[in-house]
Amino acid sequence: MHACITFEGEHVDMASPEEIAAGIEAANEVFARHDVDPLACAAAKDKLAKDEPLTREEAMLCVIWETAEDKAFRAVTLNWLVRGETDIWLTANQSAP
């Protein structure tokens, strides 16, 4: 299975297909640089959100996820006049090869 990187949130429909593509590319660059599976990062993030104990590796995966999400958000909203209360976040799901 491969990871399908997408975005969710109240304002995601304001992003153009090109902006979404730029955000996905930015996130994938972070995951590739750290040689991690986005699905593993997403699972660690979900575990943290549930206030479950994390291993050291899972904690690092959470940091990588946050970095990828930040870079993706910045890429999506690069030319937007307002970023402040913008509700867009990164998601990763399994997709068939």
Say if residue 83's pLDDT is above 70. Answer: no
For residue 87, CA distances in Å to 2, 17, 21, 44, 53 come to 26, 17, 17, 21, 27
Total domains in the fold of the chain: 1
pLDDT, tens digit, for every residue of 51-70?
999 999 999 999 999 999 99
CA–CA separation, 54 and 70 (whole Å): 21
Q: Are strands 2-8 and 89-95 parallel, antiparallel or unpaired?
A: antiparallel
Say if residue 73's pLDDT is above 80. Answer: yes
Say if residue 41's pLDDT is above 90. Answer: yes
Q: Which two tokens stand for residue 83?
A: 């970023």
Q: Is the pTM here over 0.75, yes or no?
A: yes
Q: Which two tokens stand for residue 46?
A: 């979900």
- Residue range of the domain that includes 85: 2-95
Residue with tokens 């904690």: 59
